[in-house]
């Protein structure tokens, strides 16, 4: 059972082609979700893109302007089916892996029919934009504090 972190793309993008994790870095929300997602040490992490579907972090993409919010329901359904297929082809087990959605509901809803609800975690659910940023900042700060404590403990142990 693997842990899979899914991030959503962002409207803000660099104005030139770049690896996906850099392309969306113009967005403070994306930067924070990426940092938090990496801190979870997942087995796999992907970006959900309205245009490119399931995107590995290092896949080079050109800037584009497309969002799921503007797609009709039938296109969203096709998008979800395509993402599920891409996940399966990349070795993700839709029925048994655990999924952490660091996305808005628009990117989650089309995938609900492919992933059992008890394998889905939505830590930012119900939070508005500002609340999400604040929550991400506090989570990242907590992780940094824990890492610092562990380093201090290890330093004490190895000094002896």
| pLDDT, mean of each 10-residue run, the chain (160 residues) | 94 93 92 94 96 96 90 94 97 96 92 95 86 85 83 82
31: which residues sit within 8 A by CB, 6+ positions away?
25
Q: Output the pLDDT for position 19.
A: 96
Q: Output the pLDDT for position 133.
A: 84
Contact 55/48 with Cβ under 8 angstroms?
yes
Q: Output the pLDDT for position 91.
A: 95
Q: Output the pLDDT for position 36.
A: 93
Supply the range of the domain harboring residue 110: 3-159
Contact 31/127 with Cβ under 8 angstroms?
no
Domain count along the chain: 1
The CATH number of the domain where 73 resides is what? 3.40.50
Q: Output the pLDDT for position 122.
A: 93
């Amino acid at each position: 059972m693997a842990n899979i972190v899914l991030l959503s793309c962002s409207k803000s993008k660099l104005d030139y082609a770049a690896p996906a994790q850099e392309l969306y870095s113009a967005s403070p929300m994306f930067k924070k979700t990426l940092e938090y997602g990496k801190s979870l040490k997942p087995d796999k992490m992907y970006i959900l893109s309205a245009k490119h579907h399931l995107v590995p972090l290092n896949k080079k993409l050109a800037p584009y302007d497309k969002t799921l919010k503007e797609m009709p329901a039938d296109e969203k359904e096709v998008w979800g089916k395509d993402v599920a297929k891409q996940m399966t082809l990349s070795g993700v087990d839709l029925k048994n892996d655990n999924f952490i959605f660091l996305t808005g509901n628009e990117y989650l809803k089309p995938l609900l029919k492919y992933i059992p609800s008890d394998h889905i975690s939505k830590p930012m659910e119900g939070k508005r934009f500002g609340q999400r940023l604040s929550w991400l900042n506090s989570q990242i700060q907590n992780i940094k504090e824990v890492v610092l404590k562990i380093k201090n403990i290890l330093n004490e142990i190895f000094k002896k």
